Amino acid sequence: MHNWFVYDAFSEAEKAAADFIAEKIQDSIQKNNICHIALPGGNTPAACLGYLSEKKLSWNKVHWYLGDERCYPVGHQGRNDVMLEKNLWCRLPSTNIYRIPAEKGAEKAAAAYRKLVDQFQCFDIIFLGMGEDGHTASLFPGNRALEDMRSVIAVHDSPKEPDDRVSLSVSTIQKARCRIVLTGGQGKSEVLARVKAGEKLPVNSVGDINWYVDQAAMGRT
């Protein structure tokens, strides 16, 4: 079942999501002395990641991955790792970062990242985004990549630029110990209604999610 945490303002949801992620990181470190966490791209998580960077955690024991990456050259402003570097990684005293080498092309990058991800059992935390079409990571409705159950997959013919991407697969996200989505705004109310109705969207195919949303996104659902 999805768990819903609804706040009057999106800024409250951002802070609460950061608190939740920090708590889960701490739990993983206490249990296993390590935390494997995958992060989203886009603009929505930026402030939340800033709040997370202010937490007092054993950052040297946290291993950072990406849920997906766009096939742009290194340093391109459209890449997810550029946003993550700016809003989180550069603010931490110690980092273990595993970037997706998407500049090599989707197939080669997916194969390389797959070897890395296959070295551990599962992610402790996967922080996801969600589009207005119900996509998450780079798993888009109707895209054949949804059927690829290898841990990391190449995505072609994306409905959003760029056409080629790399993503964690449905099966990898399902195996994670914890999944969280942060989203907000009236523009997400329609798709959230579809999510709550149980429609078969990519974001509804990856397992139970801890949702941090504002009241505007919930609409009348």
**Each residue of 146-170: pLDDT tens digit?**
999 999 999 999 999 999 999 999 9
Q: How far apart are CA 128 and CA 209, in angstroms?
A: 9
Q: What does the pLDDT average to over 123-143? A: 98
Tell me what pLDDT residue 220 has.
Answer: 56
The pLDDT > 70 percentage for the chain reads 99
pLDDT above 70 for 9: yes
Long-range residue pairs from 74-77, CB within 8 A, at least 24 positions apart, any chain: 74/103
* Whole-angstrom Cα Rg for the chain: 16
Q: How far apart are CA 162 and CA 23, in angstroms?
A: 34
DSSP string, the chain: --EEEEESSHHHHHHHHHHHHHHHHHHHHHHHS-EEEEE--SSTTHHHHHHHHTS---GGGEEEEESEEE---TT-TTSHHHHHHHHTGGGSSS-EE----GGG-HHHHHHHHHHHHTTSS--SEEEE---TTS-BTTB-TT-GGGG--SSEEEE-S-SSSSS-EEEE-HHHHHH-S-EEEEE-SGGGHHHHHHHHTT---GGGSS---EEEEEHHHHTT-
219 confidence band (pLDDT: 50, 70, 90): confident
Tell me what pLDDT residue 204 has.
Answer: 97
Nearest to 50 by CA among 18, 12, 25, 7: 18
Q: What does the pLDDT average to over 207-216? A: 98
Q: How far apart are CA 219 and CA 46, in angstroms?
A: 23
The pLDDT > 90 percentage for the chain reads 98
In terms of phi and psi (left: phi > 0; alpha: psi -120 to 50; beta: otherwise), the region of 75 is: left
1 confidence band (pLDDT: 50, 70, 90): confident
Q: Which of 162-176, 189-203, 207-221 has the lowest mean pLDDT?
A: 207-221
Angle between helices 46-53 and 10-32 (to 10 degrees): 50
Tell me what pLDDT residue 193 has.
Answer: 96
Instruction: Tell me if the pTM is above 0.95.
Output: yes
Mean pLDDT of the chain: 97
pLDDT, tens digit (0-9, with 9 covering 90-100), for 61-78: 999 999 999 999 999 999
Tell me what pLDDT residue 221 has.
Answer: 43
Domains of the chain: 3-218 (3.40.50.1360)
Q: How far apart are CA 3 and CA 46, in angstroms?
A: 22
